[in-house]
Structure 1
Amino acid sequence: MALAKGTRLGPYEILSFIGAGGMGDVYRAWDTRLERDVAIKVLAERLACEPRSLARFRTEAKSIAALSHPNILSIYDAELEHPPLFLVTELLEGVTLRQQIGRSAIPWRRAVQIGSEVADGLATAHDARIIHRDLKPENIFVTARGAIKILDFGLARFKPAFQGKPGSRATTVSEGGSLMGTVGYLAPEQARGETVTAATDIFSLGCVLYEMVSGHRAFNLASPASTLAAILNDDPRPVADYVADVPEELDRWIGHCLRKDEKARPQSARDLGLVLRDLLAEPTAHGRTGAEFESLAVLPFFTSASSPDAEYLADGITETLINQFAQLQHLRVIARSTVFRHKGKDADPIELGRELAVSAVLTGRIFQRGDVLVIAAELINVRDGLHLWGQQYKRPLTDIFAIEEDISREISERLRVRFAPREQSRLVKRYTESPKAYQLYLKGRFLWNKRAIESMRQALRYFEQAVEEDASYARAYAGLADCTSMLAIYGALDPRLGGKRARAAQEMALQIDPDLSEAYASRGFSLLLFDWKFREAESVLRHAVHLNSGDAPAHQWLGFALGLTGQLEEARGAMRIAQQLDPFSASINTTAVFPVYWAHLFEEAIEGFRAAVELHPGYWMAHYYMGLTYAHKGEFGQAILALRHAAEIGDSIWRYSGLGYVYAQAGRPQQARSVLKKLDELGRHQYVPLIYSAAVYAGLGETDQAVEWLRRAAEQRDWMIAWLHVDPIWDSIRSDPRLQGIRVDLGPKP
């Protein structure tokens, strides 16, 4: 009898019926304790009293529980004593291999990839002394993401030892005399009721490979008896008789798997998996290997609903891997903000890879339970959908460094990345030996990436705790510098204090690690906006991109430095590189238009800011600068609409400055003065940069007031003074002799 929606089996609530099998029904359910979707396999009532069926059900539970591998279905829980009996497993979305074979032919490369992953799963089972004994397309599942899972260990046999030690015989015949397994996929020794070994599963896998590649079953005659006779006595036709473009070596290895003598077959599923992967990497007609890759997207790692506190770990590990691979000269890596647009979306990674124009994607899932961390990662070839690598790690949280290093090594090997000098060591470089400091750092970066004032304040506290935990943690000092700088940029911190703290943190980071590119990028940022030393900033930022050519923000700030020294074409070139590295970054797509805006090319600037707004409608700064550009064109209605929207969605007081300026330019002095009043009121309770009021006075044409507020802003080292000689807002007062005392250091060209 089918279970109704809402039925409770212990802590599990039935959501919907998935399907029926020989042993019972399978349901989608909700785990109310861990708050996650699961699958529940309920043993049919009629079988609960049959000793043989009950034994098979319990065997399946124990077999899966004994194994942990990304290519084997994971079990979470079981009720094996009191009816209804059930197993709780991970919920899989997709189709069985049988269904996929029925839909369309499987290209030989994809078939070999599936076979290699099944071999990997079998190797883990065999290491645990478990033989599946019923491997067939119905018991192999292809998830919606293309991952492979081995199902149904109900006929599995635990063996005390392998290779036929005396007394280790595992029968393949039931008490009633019937064969245990599926005719057509049984090995000869199973058909004869003899001992099963690892080679038995390899024969069955050979049958599956044969069927996937050729489109025909290896042994499929008119009756079960004649099929068994063929298994015992006949060899199937070569795969090449059915498919013309199959490599001879693949045909031979399938034949090896189907040898009658079990000793003539591959004796290790792990070795078979390696052989199959080597076939995928055979040289092509052009002399290149099929496993060479030039670009990678590390997609945001998923977290379980039951591990909400692990989100910072998932994001942090994703960002760490991106940063590590971005340092490799021969590998193009998609930047963080671009891939994080897809965070939380259950999209097809192959389709995302094609959208991002990369040749491979890395996906992963993270589950944290107390101090135990489970990470499953998979590398997928975007070109043909093949799985290049997959692994699951279940280790203490303190082993997070080793897990990241293992993933980095495996990915670089699978992609066959060519290393430049020193890149190998950078790939697995540890910036701290303290897991606690690293977790604090990840929490800081997680909050920093939200780019909101309050989250950056919280991030600052985590970075401070990280350096308290490990005073030699260079990256944590770089995080401190970034936070203090950005808080000053947003007007939430006095720039004199922010610049001083940022410089101290940058110096500590570079003393500890003179090759830390992000510290150089942060230093160039400060030189540019707090010290107004544009040429020196340009030199430092060029060094940052030399150390890490994949650092999009470093290219972005280099574009700023070039633009502020009048090198507008070079600035646009640097910004284009930043956009190529991070094509969906709100900040980069907005600031990439600045060189055009500074050059007073307002028509082109409008198009650029409008494109940024369309891409990121929630990013207030894109609306802000689009509004200012409309104002410089004299289109005040459009300008006010854009700036009002920026004021509504922004979190920086800065956003009011432009609105007051445009009200004044549009002939609305009363509204402009209301903005001045608002800035004055806010300034009584918090730091408000004086340059914001100076902009409104400039719009009103009150030059004396504007110049006085600019002079005072310069004394406060307000970062926007750096734009005094380029921003069109100051066109009307820039030539005032009273401003000549405010100097920026252009210096000699580096």
Structure 2
Amino acid sequence: MEYHILGRSPQRSNMIGKSLSHYKIISKLGSGGMGDVYLAQDINLDREVALKILPAEMAADPKRLQRFEREARAVAALNHPNIVTLHSVEEADGLRFLTMERVVGEDLEKKIVPGGMAFKSFMDLARPLTEALCAAHEKGITHRDLKPANIMITEDGRVKVLDFGLAKLQETPGELEATDVQTQGLTQEGTIMGTVPYMSPEQLQGRAVDHRSDIFSLGVIFYQLLTGKRPFVGEASVDIISAILRDTPRPVTEINVSLPNHLGRIVRRCLNKDTNDRYQTARDLLNDLKDLKEEVSKSEEQAINSVGVLPFANMSPDPEQEYFCEGIAEELINGLGRLKNLRVASRTSAFKFKGSDHDIREIGKYLNVDKVVEGSVRKAGNRVRITVQLINVQDGYRLWSERYDRKLEDIFAIQDEIAERIIQALEVTLSPKERRSIQNVATRDVEAYDFYLRGRKYFYEFDRRNWEMARQMFERAIKLDPSYALAYAAIADCWSFLFMYSGSSERERQLAGDASRKALELDPDLAEAHASRGMVLSLGEDHGEAAEHFEKAIHLNPKLYEAYYFYARASVAEGNSLKAARLFEQAIDARPDDYQAPLLLPQVYSRLQREEDAARSQREGIEKALRHIEMNPNDVRALYLCGGALAQSGEVERGLELVDRAVTIAPEEPGLLYNAACAYSILGRTDEALEHLERAVRAGYSHKAWLENDSDFDPIREHPRFEAILESII
């Protein structure tokens, strides 16, 4: 299809074959609100142009025409490869007309496919589209009618945006285009005007429009390209308008699961209803797209392998050996998770299926993986038998299986062999650095390793008693192997958690510091050690040095969830909400099923006045937390974080029921009492909030910097009792 314009206007079929000035009319291309469009030959320059004859009512209005010509000159000054060039505004034989670059190709509508396009194909269109907006906006020109019909893809694949600025030129003085289109869209039931589905809320409401309206329209186009459907739909224009003004569309990454999560956030930000919550400039949007392009490696743009490692079944006579079986699976998850070309489901997700009899296809669908590893362990005396198999999710076919009957001292060799065979079966190519990381064993002492696995089992239970038990297990590990850097980092984490959540003294923070320093002394390239060190330093408010260690951890292991999560928490304590938001988002990317980051992120978004993002993150966090609670009904952290979020979202009784359940399970847990206070503060129940906060401090809560920056306490921040609580924390 050639140059294509949608709309209605009086026909001028008698123009074919005639001449206007030095333009010979060849054929009619289409009609639009600005008039009829013709293909014409420029006799003087010997080139084809698109010639648009303006409506008679515009040409007859001197003020409107003067304004039109002034603004058309500004549009004509645009010189960008992705914007159709406006050559001239001319008059001949009593007709006013525009001449424009002639574009041969098809409009963007033809590129929209069911289910949405792949990431790479999308980026090939999104970047030039956004660059065109940048060029125009930076010249002070807003499109105001951006839609697929106004975007052409040339025969050689170049993007060309049509009619830049012309929508504004159609207005009569003092007239708002949005009001006109909104009225037209409402007059005929069942008639959907071409522009309405792509209009911003402020256009539909007849409010002032600026370049951020284009960003909303571009977000609608992005959504349609990525999913194959528009974000706001309805049977009639009035239904579509209502959806644009009120509804939050389903995330693009839920519809097209092959897309990176960060792209979903980019589209969502474009579609924010409040202009202040959108990208403030097209340049900001373009920068995010460029950053995303760099983050997504070539292998990730293609369909890389994905695998879930289920907890290995305990076939030992001793049920206490559960920790060992889980540890074998966890080590596989951690080792395989370091590989750039392999996506591995998180421990939290995979371990939900412990002891379940779910069909392998159900498990694969839930984990969003192509392959699943499952196995069993029988440990007796100094012997161990491990059976493991790799299964294709689609058809249940066993791709590889093996049984290892060895001495316990061979456990590290067995783990290496299992990882190597899985990698071979998946046909994953390793770099030399990745191969070294797979073969790098933290300890060769089997008994020390055994105590480390016991410690990890306790650590994940998330309460003071279990952190104390975990620390004791890790300390027994380092007594057996004083060079066990990973165990030292784990000890540091235990002390830090006790300091943060259980009100331990300054001594605990110092001990965390000692352990983290020792871990780095033993292994300067251990990502976990840098993350632990960063957390300890942030607790002492040494944010500069903490940031260096967090950045180093991320550099060493870009998939390490803890590095992003603790860095985000440190940024909250520092008062840097913009940085905290970005890091919490990256934590979610690293562990998509985790409930903590999406439940902490809303207060950061609120500080940035991104209320739509806050509400969306809260909904997602609640869904994830409820799934987690279903599998782990006594997890007090999940209970109180989810309960507070539910109460804040309007489900007060249900939310407080979860909070009270958590308090019943652990009535003296400082972190729990603190978060219960958050829930009551949000609900405006001042006395209960202050009572729980005072109980938290009496129980030992001492993280003053977090309390000072926690927006949950904004409703009671000026209360004398709150000020007294702050002063009581040294």
Alignment of 1:479-628 (within 5 A): 479-491=490-502, 493-528=503-538, 530-564=539-573, 568=577, 570-596=579-605, 598-599=607-608, 601=611, 603-604=615-616, 606-617=618-629, 618=633, 619-625=635-641
Equivalence for 1:413: 424
Q: What is the rounded CA distance, in whole Å, between the counterparts of 1:522 and 1:310 in structure 2?
A: 28
Q: Corresponding residue for 2:391?
A: 380
**SS of structure 2 residue aligned to 1:296:** strand
State the TM-score, normalizing by the size of structure 1: 0.50
Structure 1 position 630, deviation (Å): 7.5
Q: Does 1:721 align with 2:705?
A: yes
> Superposition pairs for residues 146-165 of structure 1, below 5 Å?
none
Contact 2:451 2:476 in 1 (8 A): yes
The residue that corresponds to 1:176 in the other structure is: none
Amino acid of the structure 1 residue aligned with 2:342: L
Conserved 8 A contact 1:534-1:564: no
Structure 2 residue aligned with 1:466, among 477, 493, 510? 477
Q: Does the CA contact (< 8 Å) of 2:550 and 2:564 recur in 1?
A: yes
CA distance in 2, matches of 1:359, 1:632: 38
| CA–CA separation in structure 2 for the residues paired with 1:309 and 1:499 | 32
Query: What residue ranges of structure 1 are gaps of 5+ in the alignment?
Result: 1-287, 692-717, 743-750
Listed one character per residue, the Cα deviations across residues 647-678 of structure 1 (whole Å, up to 9, x for unaligned) are 23456233334545766887877766765786
The 5-angstrom pairing of residues 39-54 of structure 1 reads: none
* Structure-1 separation of matches of 2:505 and 2:565: 21
- What per-residue deviation string (whole Å, max 9, x for no partner) do you get for residues 580-617 of structure 1? 43233343443344523554646456534533442233
Please report how far the alpha carbon of residue 478 of structure 1 lies from its aligned counterpart in structure 2 after TM superposition: 1.1
CA distance in 2, matches of 1:337, 1:501: 28
The alpha-carbon distance between structure 1 residues 655 and 433, as it changes in their structure 2 partners (threshold 3 A), is closer
String of CA shifts for 1:606-639, please: whole Å, max 9, x gaps.
Answer: 5345334422334444553466568879997777
Quick one: distance in 2 between partners of 1:450 and 1:335?
A: 16
**Structure 2 counterpart of 1:647:** 663
Q: Describe the superposition over 1:80-130 as per-residue Cα deviations: whole angstroms up to 9, x where unpaired.
A: xxxxxxxxxxxxxxxxxxxxxxxxxxxxxxxxxxxxxxxxxxxxxxxxxxx
Distance 2:368 2:682 in 1: 45
1:451 to 447, 454, 462: 462
- Residue-by-residue CA offset, 1:262-297 (whole Å, 9 max, x unaligned): xxxxxxxxxxxxxxxxxxxxxxxxxx9xxx952221
Does the C-alpha gap of structure 1 residues 653 and 321 become closer, same or farther in structure 2, counting only changes over 3 Å? same
Cα offsets for 1:384-432 (capped at 9, x unmatched) = 4332221111111111111111112212222222223411111011211
In the alignment, the residues of structure 2 paired with residue 430 and residue 344 of structure 1 have an alpha-carbon distance, to the nearest angstrom, of 28
Rounded Cα–Cα distance in structure 2 between residues aligned with 1:525 and 1:663: 28
CA contact (8 A) 2:645 2:655 kept: yes
Number of equivalences: 418
State the distance in 1 between where 2:534 and 2:444 align.
Answer: 28
Distance 1:298 1:485, change over 3 A: same
Q: What's the CA shift for 1:326?
A: 1.2
In structure 2, C-alpha distance between the alignment counterparts of 1:384 and 1:662, rounded to whole Å: 46
In 1: Cα distance, 2:553 partner to 2:688 partner: 45
Partner of residue 151, structure 2: none
Query: What's the secondary structure of 1:480's corresponding residue?
Result: helix
1:328-367 aligned within 5 A: 328-367=339-378
- How far the C-alpha of 1:641 sits from its partner, in A, is 4.8
Aligned 8 A contact 1:334 1:581 in 2:
no
Distance verdict in 2 for CA 1:497–1:734, change over 3 Å: farther
d(CA) in 2 for partners of 1:599, 1:650: 34
2:196 corresponds in structure 1 to: none
Counterpart in the other structure of 2:327 = 316
Q: In 2, Cα distance between the equivalents of 1:635 and 1:389?
A: 48
Q: Measured at CA, do residues 562 and 420 of structure 1 come closer, stay the same or move farther in structure 2, by a change above 3 Å?
A: farther
**RMSD value, Cα:** 3.7
Deviations 1:449-468 (A, max 9, x none): 22232222111111111111
Q: Post-superposition shift, 1:435?
A: 0.9
Give structure 2 stretches of 5+ with no counterpart.
1-298
The residue type equivalent to 1:655 in the other structure is L
The aligned counterpart of 1:475 is 486
SS in 2 for 1:388: strand
- Opposite residue 660 of structure 2, the aligned amino acid is R
Q: How does 1:125-136 map onto structure 2 within 5 Å?
A: none
Q: What is the 5 A alignment of 1:71-150?
A: none
Counterpart AA for 1:479: A
1:489 Cα offset (Å): 2.0
Q: Distance in 1 between matches of 2:304 and 2:343?
A: 9
Supply the distance in 2 between the matched residues of 1:555 and 1:535 (Cα, whole angstroms).
16
Equivalent residue for 1:391, pick from 378, 402, 407: 402
1:16-27, aligned counterparts within 5 Å?
Answer: none
Shift of the 721–734 alpha-carbon distance from structure 1 to 2, 3 Å rule, reads: farther
Q: Tell me the SS of whatever aligns to 1:466.
A: helix
Distance, in Å, in 2 between the alignment partners of 1:357 and 1:666 is 37
Q: Is the 8 A contact 1:598 1:728 kept in 2?
A: no
Q: Which structure's CA Rg is the greater one?
A: 1
Cα pair 2:603 2:711 within 8 Å, conserved: no
Question: Are residues 384 and 399 of structure 1, via their aligned partners in 2, closer, same or farther at CA, if it must alter by over 3 Å?
Answer: same
* Closer/same/farther in 2, CA of residues 577 and 659 from structure 1, 3 Å limit: closer
Q: Distance in 1 between matches of 2:391 and 2:498?
A: 39
CA distance in 2, matches of 1:728, 1:663: 9
CA gap 1:432/1:726 in 2 versus in 1, 3 angstroms? same
**SS of structure 2 residue aligned to 1:395:** strand
Query: Superposed, which structure 2 residues align to 1:650-689 within 5 Å?
Result: 650=666, 652-659=669-676, 675=692, 683=698, 688-689=699-700
Structure 2 SS opposite 1:374:
strand
Q: Which has the higher helix share?
A: 2
| Cα distance change on mapping 1:576 and 1:497 into 2, 3 Å | same
Name the CA distance, whole Å, in 1 between partners of 2:608 and 2:644: 14
Aligned to 2:379: 368
Q: Which has the higher contact order (CA 8 A, sep 6+)?
A: 1
% identity of equivalent residues: 29
Q: Which amino acid aligns with 2:324?
A: L
Deviations 1:341-377 (A, max 9, x none): 1111133334322331222221111011222100011
Q: TM-score, normalised by structure 2?
A: 0.51
Aligned with 2:541: secondary structure?
coil
Find the aligned partners of 2:352 and 2:416 in 1 and give their Cα distance: 26
Report the secondary structure of 2:709's partner residue: coil
Distance 2:527 2:484 in 1: 14
Equivalent-residue separation in structure 2 for 1:635 and 1:385 (angstroms)? 41
Q: 1:591 to 1:664 in 2, by over 3 A?
A: closer
